[in-house]
Structure 1
Amino acid sequence: MRRLAVTAGVVAGALTLAGCGGPDSGPDAAPDKAELSVTGAYMPQPVSDMAAGFFTITNKGGADDRLTSVSSDIAGQVTVHETVDGSMQEVDSLEIPAHGRLVLKSGGNHLMFEELKRRPKEGQKVTVQLRFAHSGPVTVDIPVKPATYTPKHGH
């Protein structure tokens, strides 16, 4: 009987210690991170030396992030614009909330491709690299749509 009690004590002690991990242990202990994905990307076929880009970035993670810059080989520069009360202005970054979305759409927040090196045509794709405050870069192939294209389901 004494042997059974000692064995039970050892097992109970081991189980107790196993549950006493520090703050870095266990599946939920890692800090929340942003989990970003891009959908609905398109660029209306440009009619000048500038173009616009639209898409939705969804953040399924538990931490906020920010879109901080964009680059593309077809443009001298790509800038991020915010539209507030119908007025467009260049900004340094746009927030992507945890468990939320950043929607870039016509008449709203969007990308501006300036100093185009070539004008992409309908049916082609434009590659962009998105950079974020906390997440690694994401490369997106944006399909070029007709100049008057409007998404059926919005963003």
Structure 2
Amino acid sequence: MAGVLALVTGLSGFALTACGTDDDKKAGRPELSVDGAYLPQPPTADIAAGYLSVRNTGGTADELTSVTSALSDDVTMHTTEGGAMRKVTAFEVPAGGRLDLARGGNHLMLEKLTRQPKVGETITLTLHFATSPAVEVKVPVKPTSYLPED
């Protein structure tokens, strides 16, 4: 009986969450979530790259406009095209789509690090958007050889 009650309670929570998401879609607001974040252990003491995905299940697009962190006062966003890295001022997070920041493509650069992060540690990034509230993300520090599963 206790197991059935736990299952029903869990499903009720899911239904309430799903209703909120449907309302956001109907109202045309972005509905953002972040996953897959990681920071490979930087090879030098003063620079690191950051990777993550931002999903938007809402009805309108948003833009990632900046990123802040206590690990660096200088976090910039870059795109890589034809092997050349270029700084950008924003990344679109399309309605019903996702923004992927990954090796060899769009990514974050943390420069002038305040300290050298260690593998196994977690750092915090705060993502700032054009219309949505800021999102704080806990980012694990991984070995430089780390490759995320698809």
| TM-score, with structure 2 as normaliser | 0.81
Given the superposition, is the C-alpha separation of residues 141 and 28 from structure 1 closer, same or farther in structure 2, using an over 3 Å criterion? Answer: closer
Counterpart selection for 2:91 from 66, 89, 94: 94
Alignment of 1:140-151 (within 5 A): 140-151=137-148
The residue aligned with 1:35 is 31
What residue identity is the alignment partner of 1:122? Answer: V
Identity of aligned residues (%): 50
What residue identity is the alignment partner of 2:118? Answer: K
1:136 aligns with 2:127: no
Tell me, what secondary structure is at the counterpart of 2:104? coil
Q: 4+ runs of 1 displaced by more than 3 Å?
A: 27-31
Looking at structure 2, the residues matched to 101 and 41 of structure 1 have their Cα atoms a distance apart, in angstroms, of 14
Looking at structure 2, the residues matched to 34 and 63 of structure 1 have their Cα atoms a distance apart, in angstroms, of 5
The residue aligned with 2:81 is 84
Counterpart selection for 2:58 from 56, 61, 68: 61
Looking at structure 2, the residues matched to 73 and 29 of structure 1 have their Cα atoms a distance apart, in angstroms, of 33
Given the superposition, is the C-alpha separation of residues 117 and 28 from structure 1 closer, same or farther in structure 2, using an over 3 Å criterion? Answer: closer
Give the CA deviation at 1:31: 3.4
Given the superposition, is the C-alpha separation of residues 33 and 74 from structure 1 closer, same or farther in structure 2, using an over 3 Å criterion? Answer: same
The residue aligned with 2:103 is 106
The runs of 5 or more residues in structure 2 that have no matched partner are 1-22
How many correspondences in the alignment? 127
| TM-score, with structure 1 as normaliser | 0.78
Considering only CA atoms, is the larger Rg found in Structure 1 or Structure 2? 1
Tell me, what secondary structure is at the counterpart of 1:122? coil
What whole-Å deviation, never above 9, does each CA across 1:4-32 have from its counterpart, x for those lacking one? xxxxxxxxxxxxxxxxxxxxxxx699630
Give the CA deviation at 1:83: 1.4
Given the superposition, is the C-alpha separation of residues 67 and 143 from structure 1 closer, same or farther in structure 2, using an over 3 Å criterion? Answer: same
Give the CA deviation at 1:69: 0.2
The runs of 5 or more residues in structure 1 that have no matched partner are 1-26
What whole-Å deviation, never above 9, does each CA across 1:18-74 have from its counterpart, x for those lacking one? xxxxxxxxx699630000000000000011110000010000001000000000001
